[in-house]
Structure 1
Amino acid sequence: MQFTQAQLTGLNNTHLFELYPNHCVHIKAVSAVQSLQKASKQAGFDLRLASSFRSFNRQQIIWNNKASGKQTCFNRNEEKLNIAELSAFELADSICFFSAIPGTSRHHWGTDFDIFDANAYQAGQSPALTQSEYLTDGPNYPLYTWLQEKAAEFDFIFPFTSDKNGVSPEPWHISFLPVSHQASSQFSKDHLSHLLNDQAILLSDVILKNIDYFYPKYIGQYHV
C-alpha cells in the first residue's frame, strides 16, 4: 500500500482503526496485534499497548518541550543534562537519542507499539518504559524473552535492538513488519526537509543545516 505524506508524518489518521480507547493502529495491523495478544495470554502474559499511534502534534509537543527546557533531557547514560551548557547542535543530537524528530516517529504509521505485561503490574500501574524494566529481573523481562522467540511468527520485529550510534535501544518497541516496511521504504530525506521547513519544530534550522548527519544516524539506518 502507499502512504500519503501526511500519513507518513502523523498529520493524517485515515489509515487507522481504534482498537482500544485512545489506541489506534493501522487497519492492516489489527489482526496481528490481536493474535499476538491472544498468544501472550496462552503463554501466561497479558500483553498491553502502552503506546500505539502518536500524532505529529503529540510528537511535536514532546520534542519542543525538551528543546525549550520544559521537559528534562538526558545523556546516553540517562543522566540529566543542563541544556544551557549545550550548543544547539548538541541539544538536538541529545534529544534524538531518546525522542524522534516530529514527523519521523515510527508511531505515526500505526504499525509500531510500546508493549508491557499488565500481569507484572498492580492495577492502575503502568510502565515507565526504561531499560531496567525489560532486562534481567525486570517486570517485563519474561515477556521480552518470550517475544524474542515468538514475535517473528506474527510478523513483528524489534526495530531498536541496539543504538547503532543512533537511537537508544527500546526493548519495549515492536513493529508490524509487513506494513512498517512499506512506510519506511517510502519515507525519505525530502520528507524530513519539508517538515523542517513547514512545521513549527524547535531546532529545525540546526537539523536542516546538518540533515546529512541527522537523517542517516537517527532515521535512515532504521529503515527495514
Structure 2
Amino acid sequence: MTREQRRKAIIKRRIFLCCCAAILIALAALIAFTVKAVLGKKEEKPKDSSSSGAPVSSEDVSSDDTPSYPDTGIGGLDAKFEILTLVNDKTPLPDNYDYEGNLTTIPTKYINGMLNQIDKDVWTYMQAMIDAQRATEQNPKNWLYVRSPYRSYNTQKMLYENQVKRELNAGLSQAEAEDKAATVVTRPGRSEHNTGFSADFNIAEDSFESTPMFTWMQENAAEYGFVLRFPKDKQDITGIIYESWHYRFVGINNAKEMKRLNMCLEEYVEYLKNK
C-alpha cells in the first residue's frame, strides 16, 4: 500500500468513527427523552372533573351551584314572590295566626267541591296555572279543578275527629287512632289547608295520579310556584301519606329549585337555613 493509499484509509476510518459516535449520541439523547416523558406522565395529576366536562354527582352540588332564575315568570308573574311558611304536626301555626285575613273567593268555574276560599296572593298564581292547563285540554273532564283549598280551624277539627273515629272503629286505641289519623288528616292548626297556601285538586284519591291533570302538574306546576307537598318518597320526613292531589304554593323560583334538588318543604327550609 502506498503512502497516499494509507492516508486515505486513515481518513475514511476517522469519518466512520465520527459517524458511529454521532449515532450513539443521538440514540442516547432519544432514550433520555423517552424516559423523561414516561416519568412525567406518571407524576401528572388528574384534571378536575368540573373543568374537564365530566358529569358531577349530586353529592358535589353546593349552594354555589344554584342556577340563576329570572325575576319574571310565565305571563309576567313575579317569580321572586314567595311563601315558605312551614306548617306540619311538629310546627303548628301560632296562636294569634290570622286565618281569614288575606282570603279571596275562588270563582265557581274553578271549583268542584264545597270550599271556595284561598289566599288572595296565591290565587293569582293558581288561576294562571289552571287556565294554562285547561288551554291544553279540549275535554273538560280533564280540566284542573280546585277540590279543597282553605279550611277553617273548625272544619279541619271536624275532619280530623272524623278520621280518628274511623281509626277507632278499625280497632286502634285512642292514642294510636289519633296518631294514625294525623298522617291522613292533619290536626287543626297544623294543616296547610288552614293557611290558604295549599289546595287539593279534582279528587283526593290515589287515582288522581293516573290522570292527565296530575301528569301536567308534575311537569308544569313549578312554573307557577307550586310543588307536590307530600311526595311518595318523603313520607318519613313530612309525616303525611303520599297525596298526589295536594299542591302547595312556595313561589316560582323556590318551586324550581325544590324540584331541581328533589326536596320537600321540610328539607328545603332546612337547606336554606344552612346555605
TM-score normalised by L of structure 1: 0.61
Bigger relative contact order (CA 8 A; separation at least 6):
1
Query: Which one has the bigger helix percentage?
Result: 2
The one-character-per-residue Cα deviations of 1:132-189 (angstroms, maximum 9, x if unpaired) are: x1234xxxx211111111001101101101252321111001111139x9xxxxxxxx
Distance 2:94 2:155 in 1: 17
Give identity over the alignment, percent.
24
Q: 1:145: which partner in 2?
A: 215
| Matching residue of 2:208 | 134
Are residues 6 and 23 of structure 1, via their aligned partners in 2, closer, same or farther at CA, if it must alter by over 3 Å?
Answer: farther
Q: Which residue of 1 aligns with 2:120?
A: 27
Report the Cα distance in structure 2 between the residues aligned to 1:2 and 1:91, rounded to whole angstroms. Answer: 30
1:17 to 97, 104, 128: 104
Does the Cα contact within 8 Å between 1:7 and 1:108 map onto a contact in 2? no
Aligned mates of 2:145, 2:198 — CA distance in 1: 13
Name stretches of at least 5 consecutive residues in structure 2 with no aligned partner: 1-82, 86-92, 109-114, 255-264, 270-275
Partner of 1:39: 132
Contact kept in structure 1, 2:224 and 2:251, CA below 8 Å: no
Does residue 1:111 correspond to 2:184, yes or no? no
The Cα of 1:87 is off from its aligned counterpart by: 2.6
- 1:101 to 1:154, Cα distance in 2 relative to 1, 3 A: same
Check whether the contact 1:25–1:53 (CA below 8 A) recurs between aligned residues. Answer: yes
The CA distance in 1 between the partners of 2:245 and 2:209, in whole Å, is: 10
The equivalent residue for 2:179 is 93
Aligned 8 A contact 1:52 1:110 in 2: yes
Corresponding residue of 1:102? 188
Deviation at 1:20, TM superposition (A): 2.7
Deviation at 1:5, TM superposition (A): 3.4
- Structure 1 contact 59–101 (Cα < 8 Å) conserved: yes
Aligned to 2:31: none
- Trace 1:114-193 onto structure 2 (pairs within 5 A): 114-116=200-202, 127=203, 129-131=204-206, 133-136=207-210, 141-162=211-232, 164-165=235-236, 166-178=239-251
Aligned-residue Cα RMSD (Å) equals 2.8
CA shift, 1:86, in A, is 2.2
Deviation (angstroms), 1:89: 2.4
Aligned residues of 1:156 and 1:176 also touching (Cα < 8 A)? yes
Counterpart of 1:59?
156
Amino acid across the alignment from 1:112:
S
Give, in whole Å, the separation in 1 of the partners of 2:96 and 2:119.
10
The alignment's TM-score, normalised by the length of structure 2, stands at 0.50
**Structure number with bigger Rg:** 2
SS of the residue 1:113 aligns to: strand
